[in-house]
Amino acid sequence: MTAAALRCDVMVLGAGPAGMAAAAAARETGAEVICVDLFATPGGQYHMQPPAPGGPFGATSQVVEGRAAEARCRDLGVRFLEQTEVFWAEPGFTLFANQAGSPVAIRSDAVVVASGAMERAIPFKGWTLPGVMTAGGAQRLIKASNAAPGRNVVLAGSGPFLLAVANTFGTAGLKLDFYVEMRRPRLSALSLLARNPGRLAEASKLLLGLRRSGARVLTGHQVVEALGDGRLEAVRIAPLDAAGRPRMQHSYTVENIDALCVGYGFRPVIDVTSLLHAAHHFDDALGGWVCSVDETQATTVPGLFAAGETTGIGGAVPARLGGRLAGLHAAGFTGRRVGEGELVALRRQLQGACTFAAGLARLFPFPGHLVEQLGEDETVCRCEDVKISDIGEAIRDGAVDAFSVKMWTRAGMGPCQGRICGTALSEIIARRLGRKSWDMGYNRPHMPLRPVPLAVAEAALGLKAELEEG
Amino acid sequence: MNAVLPATADVVVVGGGIVGTAVARQLARDGLRTVLLERGAFGGAVSGASLACLGTHMHNLDELGVLVDACRMWKELSDGLGDPFEYHHCGQLRFIMREADIAVAQRWIASERAFGLPPELLEPEAVRKIEPLLTGPIVAASWSPGDATVNPFLAVRALLGDGRRHGLTAFHSVPVLGLLEDGDAVVGVRTAKGNVSAPHVVLAAGPWSARLAADAGITIPVTPRQAQCLASVRQPPTLRTVIGACESMGGVESGYTQIQQAKSGQILFNTVVAPEATRPDSENRINEVPLRFVRDSIRMLGTLFPSLIDILLLRSWVRFEAVSPDDRFLTGNLVRPGLMIAAGDNGTGFCRAPFMAELISRMVRRLDPGPFAALYDPARFAELRP
Amino acid sequence: MSAQVTVRINGEAFAAEPGTSLASLIHSARGAFRRSPRLAEPRGLFCGMGVCFECLVTVDGQPARACITPVREGMSVEVQP
């Protein structure tokens, strides 16, 4: 355990497209920049790197651009802290982190939060069987570990990310058996592309990639159940009616499936911004609770900036633009000089990118209603084995919100700290109480933001004194 | 949920923590039309944050009779309600790290044994037979085999449920805004959802009872004190007992320490070396735990249980205890006719809750409250004499 | 392709590609990472990015999320049976 007490001008959380853009931008102005990330190699989700050079993904633009972004950051003198997870933050700012079992404390005048997104998970029947994973988890297996999710794979859910994952299968030469998208293709999709012709090529490429994957494509369908004894063995698929409800009498089972990769979209990671009391707002299309920023990517907390998915799910293009803006403004906050001209251009481009992202998001509204399909025996909180029936009983006994349901059922009290079940819990409780899901409170962050070994926590917090001297 | 409050009741209980819930349940079982009003979620304040240890060891000696009764009541509740709150008869160890404190422990043990209780002093080797992972540098420990713990959330839930089965009407999310008065008497409460008239109002709102009492022109010497706790990710069965520091008069090296493993497997622990200054208007909005507290707690846990130093910290929380000048509950009539109080947990109130409930119910029914009532009489404070 | 590394899972030796995650190895080798606390159901890889903790295993004596842990030569992993 080697402790590190570090100082910098601008600290960037996350080394994805937004984070690396912010780090490079800030560093260009001469600011001392530290960029922390959970994984061993920078890139985040979008630019995740293969385990070794070459391979089927070695020449993809995502990998190449990611390596270039990292190289640029390093050449400029950005300091990366890999395998580093922030578990606490104090205003002004001091952040405490766990670097693969070693304690770290970082004092910084400005912080750019670009911690990306996490799965916006919705439970379904059988979702806890081994073999059922998120679409993002499947993508990471393939791209970053050259591993196949399974031999016979169903990819299901909703949203543009699903298309990207299908392409991942194709690029890797992995068989994809079924592609099951909840929404039907709509004219609004075409008009969106017509308004953004620059995206047409990308869209065509993705659709072509889906065709090449050989998957049987089902739109207006939904996976309603994962079946198996101790592990995934089969998948039940149903067509949806005009109201989007599964027509169970027309459902059928696909046998011999050993991997079901499900994705319904993402939600921003807002632990640090919430902890530091930045204002957030609820935008269902952009992932739920989202960190609010102005045109300088500043949050409502002076010196705290945010970019990328943290400010609303939008993908790599707004992330890079917003990241650069955030990095420049963060450097400006610490007294560095920043050219106004570039800022204006960046803002304009970002606005256009966000408009497209928002349009795309509207094509795939988040299906919160899926919780209505859960039977009494379905597991909602994976960490603690809490079922729908437990939640129902708690509400009947007087639980009024996510907090009180948590108290009586333990839902949300496990190691994931309510991240995986939080969306579903809000939807379930809101529906039972006749209220809105965003009104159910979002998980107020506590020490620690992420589970951390006791010894590391104690040592990292102890570094604060060192940082305060001098 | 549309709360339609009854317009009248025999008793209104303000505060739905363990004390208020226990009081309301007892009143309902004793045949009184009782309305319980909780401003937030039942058990959502200090009760839920409590480590809920039930015992007779190293508490106020003049309360030993009360504690014995209270512990028995808890066992009866658990048995009678079908073990709904993870009652765990685990015993308690109070570790001693300084030779000088052995004499302190012996004095406690002697007093408790004189009362017929079974605590004893153990050598470290004997301690490790009970708690094998306690390999830290202790010189001795007292052992109180009768102590137990419960799950505080489920305890509130169970008492609430039992109360309702006996006719209690309880409302969450209904803050009491003030008291209704008729001359000198308190005759009910005011809420945003309507008034409830009742000849008896019981303030069981922890430290916030002071606010309502002030509304009636009464200043009660109950103030909030911030306390906090940490919890690990669940572990396999690791700790068998409650582990606390020997109650030493003056020396705070081991501080106030409490460590236990909940039924969930999570290890709950806290050590306070220097108490935090708590503002008198502290609210139950969740505050952050002080970093010094986190470090002290982890260091103490690691000192006692070196093998636990790498387990994962998962949660922390803050609670506000209601503190009175002599460390005892204020339970009984509060100056004005119709007004009563059951507040002042002083950090050890969970155990006493059913006893306080019994007291209040007897007083409301004008029965002899028993020999211990005087201990808790609010009028023991000069400013609270009617 | 560079030399493989050897990782022991519950005492059994497995070959793994350097730079890959421990989770990918466990996923391919056995599929299940742990048992759920109340129902003792087997659980597998879920989010793959360090959020869900379904892949929590013991690596060289310490708790670790396999999905964010790169494989290393000589790594010793305990997985709940």
- How far CA B4 is from CA of B28, B174, B192, in Å, comes to 19, 11, 11
B47 → chain A, closest CA residue: A407
**What pLDDT digit, counting tens, does each position of A404-434 carry?**
899 999 999 999 999 999 999 999 999 998 8
Q: Which residue has the higher pLDDT, A457 or B320?
A: A457
**What pLDDT digit, counting tens, does each position of B71-122 carry?**
999 999 999 999 999 999 999 999 999 998 999 999 999 999 999 999 999 9
- Give pLDDT, residue A360: 92
* Domains of chain B listed by start with CATH number: 11-48+153-222+326-384 (3.50.50.60), 92-145+223-322 (3.30.9.10)
Q: B-chain residues within 8 Å CB-CB of A415? A: 233, 312, 314
Split at pLDDT 50, 70, 90, the class of B250 is very low
**What pLDDT digit, counting tens, does each position of A310-350 carry?**
999 999 999 999 999 999 999 999 999 998 889 999 999 99
Q: Please, are residues B342 and B203 in contact by the beta-carbon 8 Å criterion?
A: yes
Give the best residue of B266, B312, B315 to mutate against chain C (max C CB count within 10 A).
B312
Amino acid letter, residue A379? T
Domain boundaries, chain C: 5-78
Q: b vs e for B264-275, b when ≥16 Cβ sit within 10 Å of the residue's Cβ?
A: bebbbbbbbbee
C3 → chain A, closest CA residue: A52
CA angle A424, A289, A362 (to 5 degrees): 85
Q: Which residue has the higher pLDDT, B287 or B235?
A: B235
Across the interface, whether the CB atoms of B316 and A447 are under 8 A apart is answered yes
Across the interface, whether the CB atoms of B311 and C62 are under 8 A apart is answered no
**What pLDDT digit, counting tens, does each position of A65-98 carry?**
999 999 999 999 999 999 999 999 999 999 999 9
Of B44, B161, B264, the CB nearest to A410: B264
Residue C36 distance to chain A (closest CA, Å): 7
**What pLDDT digit, counting tens, does each position of A440-452 carry?**
766 678 999 999 9
**What pLDDT digit, counting tens, does each position of B51-80 carry?**
899 999 988 889 999 999 999 999 999 999
Q: Please, are residues C21 and C66 in contact by the beta-carbon 8 Å criterion?
A: yes
Give me the percent of chain C exceeding a pLDDT of 70. Answer: 98
Split at pLDDT 50, 70, 90, the class of B319 is confident
- Give pLDDT, residue A428: 95
- Give pLDDT, residue A189: 85
**What pLDDT digit, counting tens, does each position of B166-222 carry?**
999 999 999 999 999 999 999 999 999 999 999 999 999 999 999 999 988 999 999
Of A413, A444, A462, the CB nearest to B286: A444
Across the interface, whether the CB atoms of A38 and C68 are under 8 A apart is answered yes
Q: What is the CATH number of domain C5-78?
A: 3.10.20.740
Sequence-ordered list of residues with C-beta below 8 angstroms from that of A347, at least 6 positions apart, any chain:
A295, A325
- How far CA B220 is from CA of A212, B7, B276, B313, B347, in Å, comes to 77, 28, 22, 38, 18
What is the spatial distance between Cα B4 and Cα A5, in angstroms, rounded to a whole number?
Answer: 57
**What pLDDT digit, counting tens, does each position of A42-71 carry?**
999 999 999 999 899 999 999 999 999 999
- Give pLDDT, residue A196: 86
Average pLDDT, chain A: 95
A404 → chain B, closest CA residue: B41
Of C2, C20, C42, the CB nearest to A130: C42
* Domains of chain A listed by start with CATH number: 4-118+267-361 (3.50.50.60), 123-263 (3.50.50.60), 368-435 (1.10.10.1100)
Across the interface, whether the CB atoms of B173 and A400 are under 8 A apart is answered yes
Residue C73 distance to chain A (closest CA, Å): 15
What is the spatial distance between Cα B284 and Cα C20, in angstroms, rounded to a whole number?
Answer: 47
Record the pTM: 0.95
| A303 in contact with chain C, both atoms CB, cutoff 8 A | no
Across the interface, whether the CB atoms of A231 and C32 are under 8 A apart is answered yes
**What pLDDT digit, counting tens, does each position of C27-56 carry?**
999 999 999 999 999 999 999 999 999 999
Q: Over range A272-288, report the average pLDDT.
A: 95
Q: Over range A162-167, report the average pLDDT.
A: 96
Q: Over range B233-241, report the average pLDDT.
A: 96
Split at pLDDT 50, 70, 90, the class of B252 is very low
Of C37, C61, C62, the CB nearest to B265: C37
Q: B-chain residues within 8 Å CB-CB of C61? A: 310
- Give pLDDT, residue B1: 43
Q: A-chain residues within 8 Å CB-CB of B41? A: 398-401, 403-404, 407
- Give pLDDT, residue B286: 62
Q: Over range C8-26, report the average pLDDT.
A: 97
Q: Please, are residues A32 and A60 in contact by the beta-carbon 8 Å criterion?
A: no
Of B233, B265, B310, the CB nearest to C62: B310
Split at pLDDT 50, 70, 90, the class of B2 is low
Residue (of A291, A294, A295) closest to A308 by Cα position: A291
Give me the percent of chain A exceeding a pLDDT of 90. Answer: 87
